[in-house]
Chain A
Amino acid sequence: MAQAAKIQESIEDLEKKQEWWWIAEKKRSKRLDYLRKAVWKKGAIGGNYAPGVKVDLEIPVLFTQMYNWWKFDPPMLRRAKANAHILDNMTIFITDHAQLVGYVGTTPNTLLWRIDGASMVNEELYNEPGVMPEPEQASLKKVADLNAAWAGQTAVDKVARILDPEDAVKFLSGAIGWGAPTSAYGYSGKDYEFLFAQRNGFLDIIEKIDEAIEKAEDRTMGAPGPDILPLYERLQNWDAMKMILEASIRYANRYARLARIIAENYETDPTRKEELIRLAETCEHVPAHAPRSLQESLQYDHFVQVLARIEALEGAWPARPDYYHWPMYHKDVNVEKNITREEALDLVGEFMIRAYEVGGFGPRWAREGLQGITGTWVWTLGGVNKDGTDACNDLTVAFLQAARMVRVANPTFAFRWHPKVADDVMREVFECIRHGLGYPSIRNDPVLIQNAMHWHGHPLEEARTWVHQACMSPCPTTKHGVQPMRMASATANCAKMVEYALHNGYDFVVQMQMGPKTGDAAKFKDFEEFFAAWVKQMEWLTNTLVRTVNLGRYKDPEFFGRPFLSATYERAVESGLDAVSPVGERGNCWITGFTWVENADSLAAVKKLVFDDKKYTMAELLDALRTNWEGREDMRLDFVKAPKWGNDDDYVDDIMLRCLREVARHSREIQCPCGNTWPLLPENVSGNIHYSSIVGALPNGRRLGDALYDGGISPGPGLDKKGPTAVLKSCGKIDHVGDGRAFLLNQRLSPTQLAGEKGYQLWKAYIKTWADLGLDHVQFNMVSDETLRAAQRDPEKYQEVIVRVAGYSAHFVDISRKTQDNIIQRTIQGI
């Protein structure tokens, strides 16, 4: 009834009430409306999967059968054969009205489960209520048998066995970082230049592989010597790459066959029949050949992403769709006029829905840390071409318009702002933010291009191709620039740096000596001694996490192996090495810094109240922290009132800069497997909630149990009391090139204040100040407290309200109460 009533209301009335989700329903085509509503929500609601969402058991069974059969094969070849077996045999489906196909499961309600990733995750799956397909007992038996077969044999089991035992125990405590040092769960970059710019279909790549094999075999049949010895292994890798590409083409052809069967035997609607035939022709052409139309281009991209996900549970979705699909869009819509712009919008909207549909089973920590979504799928829009000219085009606008119609929380967009972006494009960006999507986030292209050159030495032209490899970090899409694997275990719970400096390296939450013994803080004579302890804890924590990732990267080709990913990488196809191997990669690593700003605020509070004003002794403070401020509310509020980041106060801002510069110095001392740097990138996803019960009480006034700040360099919620300019000025003191890889900034703006043309002009002026101050990132929530409160009271009515959590967006009703509260607490800045 409520829905029928809303459909009767005019768009103007709905705009006044800012109920954008009803407007979307009215504006989108019937097809998009159906597809949007027909999709299963795979993101966890709080920490649990939605009713009806089940784990796919067909794929792990198929994989295990063939993996065990080929037990004497080397890693990449063995996995290629097992994955090819999946592609040849898994159940496939075509959603009604769909023009794009491909999914990581065998039915639309299923979650991908990669059995070969980690035994810990497999055990968790066995114990997860509600996700087993019916009949449940039979499924549980199947899972138990699979788990028994893989116990000790998964990628993480293998890495854990060779990690230093002390590192392993500390890492697995869950206190200092998360993720797993394996490409089974990482974020792989995509070599878009190889696939799209160079227009290589899989048959073109197979031709290149055949040439490489022929050349290598000429040498292995020739004069013996040490130079030919590595070729034997590479020949097997090339075989694996070729095998998986051939299987991928067969997989696409299975969709083509299914589409033809439906069209010829079951479909009665002539229009849909035609669409199914076109779909069949599309899947017969891509991925085997380079695309000839927009539909083929989008389908090719989707196949690549799905196939990479069937190979490993990927947490991110690096993409730059307006750039790489523009040639086919331009050809179809503008030059040859094969389709109308409205038809193109339908395809673009569906392209987003197909990505939103994708989901894999994640452990509870991942579900808590990424509430409401199944991965950080941040698609990059805008930016510049390789020659520095504006890359925005009508497809950029089409993606921004389609986003407002389909209103999915994943993928989200990040827009590469630069001074040459046209006003009409900026208006479209603003419209998405004004409609409460929480995206696109705005990235400062000139700053980030310079940053990529500064930290990793990417040449200018390559730096300009950058896409988001995960939430925030730029990565080129070029042969030597693309990073094959960002392993999430280089994610630091940074609040532990100051916590350990206070407690001599001891963790009172996990009750274990974690960091080095940097001295009894009660005996520190001045702030410098305390800060020196912080530096040592910071170095220890980052070293520990980076060691695990470096080892994971180095051993991944042996412990896991990525035949499909390798086959889509120019350098891997050329060399015959696994794509994850550091050979031939320039390096593009970063340490994600969760819970970062707590360090500056805590250090400043200690400096002020203990060392400068001497209002409290360090012993008193330590006692208060170890008892979680219980019975010391007056004292806690004093520490809350100490100088706080985000108020343009040099007292604390200088400490923030000192901390960042110590990390930047250390980032050059530690090296990735390619020999490049490890800069810091402060951001949180919803890790601030996950870690709320893991980080002890802190001198910023926070108690164990309270949410941490919402991340990056965003001030603590409610602590930025001097307005938006003061926030920007504090953040502008950071050198966004030399102090780290990128810095997330959350801002809440008033939807009432930013209504209409005046609102746009105000926002544009804000963006100009942001750009002038050299900040690299900002993202906005523009949903009122009233709407969010109403959604808390009556979630059923507000299913489609989207908010920006951190580096991603989520439907408000899908995040936990504590996370909702944390978002509502953020200060609404009047600009």
Chain B
Amino acid sequence: MKCTECSFEAPVAKFRYLYNARIDASIALRQCPQCQAWLAVDELSGSVKQKVGPGEAPWGKSAGIEGLAEDAR
């Protein structure tokens, strides 16, 4: 998997697992070991979906996964 922030590349497991805000979604929060960025990772495909930060876009129903996981309403 490649970090979208610093291009560090390594198997998914090398990116520190933080937590999954939604147990029923395959999106997890992981941390890049090189630049420490929080990343929203699709655990099924092993790809970074977006950086998680306090800005407008990524702040969602489940931290950093707005639009990436369906809301359970």
Chain A interfacial positions (CB closer than 8 Å to B):
628, 630-631, 633-634, 636-637, 640-641, 692, 700-707, 716-721, 785, 789, 792-793, 817-818, 820-822, 824-825, 827-828, 830
CA distance A630 to B73 in the complex (A): 28
Given A631-B12, A633-B43, A633-B44, verify A706-B61 contact (CB < 8 Å).
no
Given A628-B17, A828-B73, verify A640-B61 contact (CB < 8 Å).
no
Residues of A within 8 A of B63 (CB): 792, 817, 820-821, 824
Given A789-B59, A792-B54, A793-B56, verify A827-B73 contact (CB < 8 Å).
yes
Q: Which residue of B lies closest to A827 (CB)?
A: B72
CB under 8 Å from chain A, chain B span 14-73: 17-24, 26, 28, 43-44, 54-56, 59-63, 72-73
Contact A718 B72 (CB under 8 A): yes
A sample of 25 inter-chain contacts (CB < 8 A) reads A628-B17, A630-B12, A630-B13, A630-B17, A631-B12, A631-B13, A637-B26, A640-B23, A703-B17, A703-B19, A703-B20, A704-B17, A705-B17, A706-B20, A717-B22, A718-B22, A718-B24, A785-B61, A789-B59, A792-B59, A793-B55, A793-B59, A820-B63, A824-B62, A825-B21
Q: Which residue of B lies closest to A627 (CB)?
A: B13
CA distance A701 to B25 in the complex (A): 10
Residues of A within 8 A of B54 (CB): 792-793
* Nearest 8 A/B pairs, CB to CB: A718-B72, A633-B43, A821-B21, A821-B63, A705-B19, A706-B19, A633-B44, A827-B72
Contact B13 A821 (CB under 8 A): no
CA distance A785 to B18 in the complex (A): 22
Count CB-based A-B contacts (< 8 Å). Answer: 78
Contact B61 A825 (CB under 8 A): yes
Contact B19 A707 (CB under 8 A): yes
CA distance A792 to B22 in the complex (A): 17
A706 CB, min distance to chain B CBs, angstroms: 5
Q: Which residue of B lies closest to A830 (CB)?
A: B73
Residues of A within 8 A of B23 (CB): 640, 700-702, 706, 716-719
Given A631-B12, A700-B23, A718-B23, verify A705-B18 contact (CB < 8 Å).
yes
Residues of B within 8 A of A704 (CB): 17
CA distance A700 to B20 in the complex (A): 13
Residues of B within 8 A of A640 (CB): 23-24
CA distance A706 to B26 in the complex (A): 13
A628 CB, min distance to chain B CBs, angstroms: 7
Residues of A within 8 A of B13 (CB): 630-631
Q: Most chain-A Cβ atoms within 10 A of its Cβ — which of B12, B23, B26, B28?
A: B23
Contact B72 A818 (CB under 8 A): no
CA distance A595 to B32 in the complex (A): 30
CA distance A634 to B26 in the complex (A): 9
Residues of A within 8 A of B55 (CB): 793
Q: Which residue of B lies closest to A692 (CB)?
A: B19
Contact A721 B26 (CB under 8 A): no
CA distance A702 to B19 in the complex (A): 9
Residues of A within 8 A of B56 (CB): 793
B72 CB, min distance to chain A CBs, angstroms: 4
With beta carbons under 8 angstroms apart, the residue of B17, B22, B26 that contacts A825 is B22
A705 CB, min distance to chain B CBs, angstroms: 5
A188 CB, min distance to chain B CBs, angstroms: 36
With beta carbons under 8 angstroms apart, the residue of B44, B59, B72 that contacts A721 is B72
Residues of A within 8 A of B62 (CB): 821, 824-825
A798 CB, min distance to chain B CBs, angstroms: 13
Residues of B within 8 A of A825 (CB): 21-22, 61-62
CA distance A656 to B22 in the complex (A): 22
CA distance A717 to B22 in the complex (A): 8
Q: Which residue of B lies closest to A633 (CB)?
A: B43
Other A-B pairs beyond A633-B43, A717-B22, 7, CB < 8 Å: A702-B23, A703-B28, A705-B18, A720-B72, A793-B59, A818-B19, A821-B62
Residues of B within 8 A of A707 (CB): 19, 21
Residues of A within 8 A of B12 (CB): 630-631
CA distance A628 to B28 in the complex (A): 13
Q: Which residue of B lies closest to A629 (CB)?
A: B43
A711 CB, min distance to chain B CBs, angstroms: 15
Q: Which residue of A lies closest to B55 (CB)?
A: A793
B38 CB, min distance to chain A CBs, angstroms: 10
Contact A719 B24 (CB under 8 A): yes
Contact A634 B24 (CB under 8 A): no
CA distance A827 to B19 in the complex (A): 19
Residues of B within 8 A of A820 (CB): 63
CA distance A719 to B24 in the complex (A): 7
B19 CB, min distance to chain A CBs, angstroms: 5
Q: Which residue of A lies closest to B66 (CB)?
A: A789
Contact B61 A824 (CB under 8 A): yes
CA distance A518 to B60 in the complex (A): 43
A641 CB, min distance to chain B CBs, angstroms: 8
Q: Which residue of B lies closest to A716 (CB)?
A: B23
Residues of B within 8 A of A785 (CB): 61
Residues of A within 8 A of B28 (CB): 703
Q: Which residue of A lies closest to B25 (CB)?
A: A718
A533 CB, min distance to chain B CBs, angstroms: 24
CA distance A628 to B26 in the complex (A): 14
Residues of A within 8 A of B59 (CB): 789, 792-793
A47 CB, min distance to chain B CBs, angstroms: 16
Residues of A within 8 A of B73 (CB): 827-828, 830
Q: Which residue of B lies closest to A704 (CB)?
A: B17
CA distance A640 to B63 in the complex (A): 19
Residues of A within 8 A of B17 (CB): 628, 630, 703-705
Residues of A within 8 A of B60 (CB): 789
A644 CB, min distance to chain B CBs, angstroms: 9
Q: Most chain-B Cβ atoms within 10 A of its Cβ — which of A637, A785, A821, A822?
A: A821
Residues of A within 8 A of B22 (CB): 717-718, 825
B29 CB, min distance to chain A CBs, angstroms: 9
Q: Which residue of A lies closest to B73 (CB)?
A: A828
Residues of B within 8 A of A827 (CB): 72-73
CA distance A820 to B59 in the complex (A): 12
CA distance A792 to B63 in the complex (A): 10
Residues of A within 8 A of B21 (CB): 707, 821-822, 824-825
CA distance A821 to B73 in the complex (A): 16
Residues of A within 8 A of B26 (CB): 633, 637
A718 CB, min distance to chain B CBs, angstroms: 4
